[in-house]
């Protein structure tokens, strides 16, 4: 390792720590976008890439091509929080991980890690930027929410550990994020700088518990949070730029010896105040090793090089991080085997074993918070006719359609109508017309954390429609995302949480409405004001 390090110039060493973002879609070799990535590898000699959405073959072929061009093997990372399907089209999509909190079964956390690792490694991904180790103790948090296992720090810690083990046992590195904890924020760090006012005693007893658990399980990487902790650090600098957090707390107090990676350096909490180059240098000085998604890789390397040559960053400090990076690559076996076999992808990615596991988890995670008057029981008891009003963001165009198809196949008569964030009065009038034609209504809402949006809530017009409909006819509100929707429609008599908008969760809801599966999940978070952690109405199967 020392001989390899000695062969690298200062600029090459710095480049090993820079991790740009790469689209996963198909591009020809002479396409301008591929040429940009090829230049990162050929000329800048970056150490890794973070891959985004694409088909299994497009991702694998693109990464193979870049790996073959690279002098040193590239460390490939991706966000695969709820399975490889989060980035790899056709791979297994599990429910969001708060669904695991609802089952309380640590084996489920292990299984998501196992599937993400197996399918991710098959297409050339080595590092999962997951699990999320945040404790979601703030219902108003717009960006964590169902990405967390829950609100109880000990339960979250146990599930984080099993997720880490699932990744490790199947050859993928695990990342704990967002250190030292993003669960108690009310703003999105993609847009601005959230502030957590709690001091060290609260951090020690709540936020840090899952990170300790994950480190004890052998997590390889920790991702910093773009959040200020002024009571702990004495400044309003985000944790990503705080030596007190990354060097003092993470390295010295929690004894973490792996790689520290920044959250994306393009995020508003960082770039707006410090600029791309200076943010990179400050993050490194604070204790980061990998510099993730700098706004401009050239500027990041230039700024880091100038900081080393000017004495602001010592050569010893630089070499510490580069050694960690090179050792990780050696441990993964990338020095001798850096490409993947395309002909094995179809035997691994999206396999029935993992799809069945996702379907099973989605059913067991279903959590009934309220069924006053038995509206859900009535729907489950016999073939029914009802309106299904679906709501989701623009990126989920088929919201509720798969569920509707399954319900119709099961014998229900369903009038489907779709609402969008931009739906206006005419659309809501049409929804009321559909509702008036049927004796009951099921609202299916996928309200989920979305970067850069800044809030997580039903539109007021939809919340009002749910409330008004509930007064006139049997009504069920189903959440395919945030569990906190009841706060906007508090009089709703029936509230079912499925935690995710994926096909497995839509299937689970359809089976529940048909009475073909039991409902037995329990809340891993409080649903203010009435429902504590652990609450859940259990219903046995109505039909075989």
Which range is least confidently modeled, 153-167, 190-204, 209-223, 457-471?
190-204
Share of the chain above pLDDT 70, in %: 95
Q: For the segment 388-423, what is each residue's pLDDT rounded down to a tens digit?
A: 999 998 676 678 999 999 999 999 999 999 999 999
Rounded-to-integer distance, Cα 85 and Cα 120, Å: 9
- Per-residue model confidence as pLDDT tens digits over 357-391: 999 999 999 999 999 998 899 999 899 999 999 99
| Residues identified as active-site | 190, 263
Which of 151, 152, 167 lies closest to 214 in space, CA to CA? 167
- Where are any strands of DSSP class E within 293-432? 367-371, 385-392, 413-419
Flag the least confident range among 49-53, 160-164, 173-177, 298-302. 298-302
C-beta separation of 191 from 268 below 8 A = yes
Residue 268 pLDDT class (50, 70, 90 cuts) = low
CA distance 508 to 359: 7
Mean pLDDT within 93-107: 98
What span, in angstroms and rounded, lies between the C-alpha atoms of 272 and 221? 26
pLDDT at 189 over 60: no
pLDDT band for position 271 (cuts 50, 70, 90): low
The answer on pLDDT for 184 being more than 90 is no
Question: Vertex 368, ends 164 and 439: CA angle to 5°?
Answer: 140
Contacts of 415 (CB under 8 A, 6+ apart): 385, 386, 387, 388, 434, 437, 438
Domains, the chain: 2-344 (3.20.20.300), 366-513 (3.40.50.1700)
Degrees, nearest 5: CA angle 39-223-265: 45
In which order are the strands placed within the sheet that holds 21-22? 21-22, 48-51, 75-78, 127-128, 173-179, 221-224, 259-261
Is the per-residue pLDDT at 453 higher than 60?
no
What is the predicted pLDDT for the residue at 270? 65
What is the pLDDT at residue 452? 43
pLDDT digit string, tens, across residues 460-495 = 999 999 999 999 999 999 999 999 999 999 999 999
Nearest to 14 by CA among 49, 47, 42: 47
Report d(CA 463, CA 117) in Å as an integer: 39
Q: How confident is the model at residue 155 (pLDDT cuts 50, 70, 90)?
A: very high
What integer best gives the mean pLDDT of the chain? 93
Alpha carbon distances (Å) from 109 to 79, 137, 176, 359: 16, 20, 14, 14
- For residues 64-91, average pLDDT: 98
Question: Mapped to the 3 state alphabet, what secondary structure does 187-224 carry?
Answer: CCCCCCCCECCCCHHHHHHHHHHHHHHHHHCCCCEEEE
∠ CA 175-143-228, nearest 5°, is: 75
pLDDT of residue 86: 97
Residues 91, 53: contact at Cβ < 8 Å? no
Over 60: is that where the pLDDT of 191 sits? Answer: no
- The set of residues, in sequence order, having a beta carbon less than 8 Å from that of 387 and lying 6+ positions away, is 414, 415, 416, 417, 434, 435, 437, 438, 440, 441, 442
Cα separation of 499 and 483, whole Å?
7
Supply the pLDDT for residue 8: 96
């Amino acid at each position: 390792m020392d001989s390899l390090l000695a062969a690298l110039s200062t600029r090459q060493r710095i480049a090993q720590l820079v991790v740009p973002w790469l689209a996963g879609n198909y591009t020809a070799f002479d396409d301008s976008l591929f040429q940009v990535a090829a230049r990162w590898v050929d000329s800048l000699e970056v150490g890794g890439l973070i891959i985004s959405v694409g088909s299994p073959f497009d991702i694998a072929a693109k990464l193979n091509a870049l790996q073959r061009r690279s002098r040193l093997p590239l460390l490939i990372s991706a966000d695969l929080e709820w399975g490889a399907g989060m980035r790899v089209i056709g791979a297994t999509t599990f429910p969001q991980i708060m669904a695991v909190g609802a089952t309380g079964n640590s084996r489920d956390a292990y299984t998501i890690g196992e599937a993400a690792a197996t399918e991710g490694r098959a297409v050339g991904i080595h590092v999962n930027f997951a699990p999320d180790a945040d404790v979601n103790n703030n219902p108003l948090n717009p960006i964590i929410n169902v990405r967390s296992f829950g609100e109880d720090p000990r339960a979250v810690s146990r599930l984080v550990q099993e997720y880490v083990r699932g990744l490790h046992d199947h050859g993928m590195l695990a990342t704990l994020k967002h250190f030292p904890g993003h669960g108690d924020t009310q703003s999105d760090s993609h847009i601005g700088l959230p502030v957590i006012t709690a001091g060290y005693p609260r951090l020690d007893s709540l936020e840090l518990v899952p990170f300790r658990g994950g480190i004890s399980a052998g997590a390889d990487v920790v991702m910093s949070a773009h959040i200020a902790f002024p009571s702990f650090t004495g400044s309003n600098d985000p944790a990503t730029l705080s030596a007190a957090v990354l060097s003092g707390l993470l390295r010295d107090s929690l004894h973490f010896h792996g790689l520290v990676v920044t959250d994306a350096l393009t995020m508003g909490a960082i770039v707006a105040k410090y600029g791309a180059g200076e943010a990179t240098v400050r993050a490194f000085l604070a204790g980061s090793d990998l510099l993730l998604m700098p706004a401009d890789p050239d500027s990041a390397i230039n700024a880091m090089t100038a900081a080393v040559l000017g004495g602001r960053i010592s050569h010893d400090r630089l070499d510490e991080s580069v050694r960690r990076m090179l050792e990780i690559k050696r441990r993964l076996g990338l020095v001798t085997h850096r490409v993947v076999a395309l002909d094995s992808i179809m035997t691994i990615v999206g396999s029935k074993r993992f799809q069945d596991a996702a379907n099973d988890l989605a059913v067991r995670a279903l959590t009934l918070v309220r069924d006053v008057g038995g509206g859900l029981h009535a729907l489950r008891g016999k073939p029914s006719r009802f309106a299904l009003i679906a709501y989701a963001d623009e990126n989920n165009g088929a919201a509720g359609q798969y569920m509707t198809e399954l319900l119709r196949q099961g014998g229900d008569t369903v009038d489907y109508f779709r609402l969008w964030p931009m739906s206006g009065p005419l659309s809501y009038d049409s929804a009321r017309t559909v509702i008036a034609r049927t004796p009951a209504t099921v609202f299916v809402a996928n309200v989920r954390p979305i970067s850069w949006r800044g809030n997580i809530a039903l539109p007021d017009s939809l919340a009002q429609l749910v409330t008004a409909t509930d007064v006139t006819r049997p009504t069920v509100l189903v959440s395919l995302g945030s569990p906190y929707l009841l706060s906007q429609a508090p009089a709703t008599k029936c509230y079912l949480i499925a935690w995710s908008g994926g096909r497995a969760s839509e299937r689970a809801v359809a089976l529940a409405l048909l009475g073909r599966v039991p409902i037995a999940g329990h809340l891993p978070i409080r649903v203010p004001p009435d429902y504590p952690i652990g609450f859940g109405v259990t219903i046995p199967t109505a039909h075989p």
